[in-house]
Chains A and B, each alone.
Chain A
């Protein structure tokens, strides 16, 4: 279907089912139970899962295929966000112009940055992109304050022009919408102790993510994608055969920047606010982590990595020592305090530590990322069933990062 082979179609369908049923899958524990702390099925986090999934898919097109490690991708996310919020302030609160403009502006910016940065490769390329991103951050933070709102950022205001929208009702605030359907509206379904939330914004972001994922599969399987892989494996050899690699890498860079712009536009559509920290170098580093954690060069890896990191950032960081004490209240007092003291550095504000440890373990033991972990488990199960009758278990080979 859709011009994909059977295996890719299966992957696309699985991803589609998972994203559509996410409100159920991410809320496995009933409301009010001790485990409800680990539920992730609320609109904001679900939106972040798919939006950062798009960001990571785009980054993977550049890094996973061509091997060019961009350390400044957050700049495109930020530029897309600023473009989107200006469309909302000036034109309309409808999300479509905002998202489209986010993609276009980020693409143009990527063209400029890519044209300059791609004159070098390897570490020099990484440093150039990092420099561009930090420059953009500094500009947004202070120099361009009239356009970017500086540290405070930008939000839609009641008094904005919004030339395509009708006047607001008295006392109403401007809300992001798709032809009148507001992004924040949700339908809540109560089933026994469980509460499932179906949010309009999430489903719109999820559909965009599926389209982006589909396009990425097509790109991976196309001759163009093959050319990008060739750049990664041996660029010199390509040059000697008379091929100019630059247009290919530049195209990959721009496409990847447009994906970042799409993610930035969607972030604004779901949560109408932009701040300059979105372009800070740590944000650029985060998408590198997501891609490597999930599995660079694989299709689904970056999405998994994005999900894992956002989950830790939003769920682990909210566990505080009081919650730990309630969990271990059944233990004798001294032991309870000991267990809490042992676990405490890894939760709450220590979630970075946990992330770091997981990242190290993955890079050392699973160089192909979480995807490789999944494949090893699958292979182990298949191996047990077949009892070594055939050795086809590793039919899907991973491509490690570098």
Chain B
């Protein structure tokens, strides 16, 4: 090793430098005159749209961004106003938010929590965003929600379906409009029982991560309550692209229903494999073999093509709904981009409007005031019927759609048909069942 000469002079010099170095940070202490983080002082207000632009959910992210751009246009008084005309609250004037023009910054979450937090932080610290919204996976939503809680800004979750987001990881500054695994299970089970009978044997294939676990649990609990039997639940790696080796044992297990707790590309591949294996033509225990996909999206249905025909699943919203809010939104989205919006686009658009409306009603951008305006807020005209933002866990409660792959699609967007609109009372649960602590709102600064 190197030779070390320790002289008295050397020690003194080194320790003096080290001491000065250690003293540096104590000069700086937090100080700020603003009442809350990024209080907008000029004639405009900045919102942060944090969506996946690269990675497995880039399609959803692109659609979310389109929806946000549309929402900003409507908030600033451009376009045809979309859902602002059908929204039950009339606080929004089309002159921005509280008279301030809405501006926005965008970022790429890459569907990684680190990248999403870095991007959200730069929006908060550099661009002065007063609200962060977007995202297409629960891991990212939970990570960014916690960051917004620390930083003292509002987080309006985008597409996130895991129970955790408003369950064990809920935060006072975070709000979710999208439904969750529990609601999917509760809405789907009665339909499955009605169509397939009460004495079915189910086999679960579950994506091996948090969302998969909560979805499997929800579907299991609600189907078992109706008399179904769960034969086996097998976890599949998230990166799996060929599910043949997982499908083969299903036939030997004696099960007569396959539940695919998969999302995105996973679901497209596993469903395609299952159909190619001829599962749906089989007859087990004297019954037709069936396949179920708890969380459906139009983008996934398009990926799986003809294989989705007749397969049940649940979804948050679908563009073919007949209500005025949906029609207004589909019309303005279609006029601008030339095709109907996905459910990811819908939830993001609604979240942006709900935030703006809450600010108007609260009369302030202060996260605590906005949170108070959103808590227990009841509204209608946003495409899901009467909806409640529950105060206890910041989760929206609304009807859930049970859908089925259409037998005769008329276009590449018309792939799902609505089987039933499950009333909100059937999917409501007690706020405390998932644990977690909401905490107090944090205005930052």
Residues of A at the B interface (CB closer than 8 Å) are 1-3, 20, 39, 42-45, 48, 138, 141-142, 145, 150-153, 155, 157-159, 170-173, 175, 178, 181-182, 184-188, 197-200, 203-204, 207, 210, 218, 221-224, 271-273, 275, 277-278, 280, 313-314, 317-318, 320, 348-349, 352
Contact = CB atoms under 8 A, between A and B. Distances in A.
Contacts of A278: 114
Given A152-B210, A159-B437, A349-B54, A273 B121 contact: no
B139 A175 contact: no
The 3 closest A-B pairs by CB, nearest first: A171-B440, A185-B30, A275-B113
Contacts of A138: 237
B195 interface: no
Contact of A141 (B53, B149, B150, B209): B209
For chain B, the bracket of interface size reads 35 or more
B432 interface: no
A273 B209 contact: no
B285 interface: no
Given A42-B125, A42-B126, A185 B440 contact: no
Given A173-B442, A273-B147, A187 B29 contact: yes
B28 A152 contact: no
Contacts of B119: 314, 317-318
A225 B206 CA distance: 50
Contacts of B137: 151
B194 interface: no
Contacts of A151: 137-139, 209-211
B24 interface: yes
Nearest to B139: A151
Contact of A277 (B27, B29, B114, B210): B114
Given A173-B149, A318-B106, A320-B106, 10 more contacts: A142-B235, A142-B237, A142-B238, A152-B113, A152-B169, A155-B146, A173-B150, A199-B28, A210-B21, A275-B112
Specify which of B31, B54, B143, B442 lies most central, judged by the most chain A CB atoms within 10 Å of its CB.
Answer: B143
Contacts, number: 157
Contacts of B442: 173
Contacts of B14: 2
Contacts of A197: 125
Specify which of B1, B27, B139, B238 lies most central, judged by the most chain A CB atoms within 10 Å of its CB.
Answer: B139
Contact of B437 (A158, A170, A178, A186): A158
Given A152-B164, A171-B439, A175-B150, A185 B28 contact: yes
A48 B1 CA distance: 32
B143 A150 contact: no
B252 interface: no
A158 B437 CA distance: 8
A203 B27 CA distance: 11
Interface of B: 1-2, 4-5, 10, 13-14, 21-22, 24-32, 53-54, 58, 105-108, 112-115, 117-119, 121-122, 125-126, 137-139, 142-143, 146-147, 149-151, 162, 164, 169, 208-211, 213, 235, 237-238, 437, 439-440, 442
Nearest to A39: B126
Contact of B208 (A44, A142, A173, A313): A142
Given A141-B208, A348-B108, A43 B150 contact: no
B113 A181 contact: no
A273 B117 contact: yes
B143 A273 contact: yes
Nearest to B27: A187
Contact of B29 (A158, A185, A224): A185
A3 B30 CA distance: 37
Nearest to B32: A188
Given A198-B28, A224-B1, A275-B113, A45 B150 contact: no
A203 B169 CA distance: 31
A181 B26 contact: yes
Specify which of A44, A158, A185 lies most central, judged by the most chain B CB atoms within 10 Å of its CB.
Answer: A44
Contacts of B122: 42, 44-45, 314, 318
Nearest to A142: B208
B112 A314 contact: no
A200 B28 contact: yes
Nearest to A81: B114
A198 B25 CA distance: 9
Contacts of B26: 181
Contacts of B13: 1
B87 to A, nearest CB: 26
B114 A317 contact: no
15 contacts: A3-B2, A42-B125, A44-B121, A44-B125, A45-B126, A145-B210, A150-B210, A158-B439, A184-B150, A185-B30, A187-B27, A188-B32, A204-B25, A349-B58, A352-B54
Nearest to B121: A44
B28 A203 contact: yes
B24 A207 contact: yes
B439 A173 contact: yes
B60 to A, nearest CB: 14
Contact of A182 (B30, B112, B162, B235): B30
B147 A222 contact: no
A152 B138 contact: yes
B114 A222 contact: no
B129 to A, nearest CB: 11
Contacts of A157: 437
Contacts of A314: 118-119, 122
A37 B21 CA distance: 32
Contacts of B4: 3
Contacts of B440: 170-172
Specify which of B25, B118, B169 lies most central, judged by the most chain A CB atoms within 10 Å of its CB.
Answer: B25
Contacts of B1: 222-224
A203 to B, nearest CB: 5
B28 A187 contact: yes
A48 B115 CA distance: 11
A164 B209 CA distance: 33
Contacts of B118: 44-45, 48, 313-314
B142 A153 contact: yes
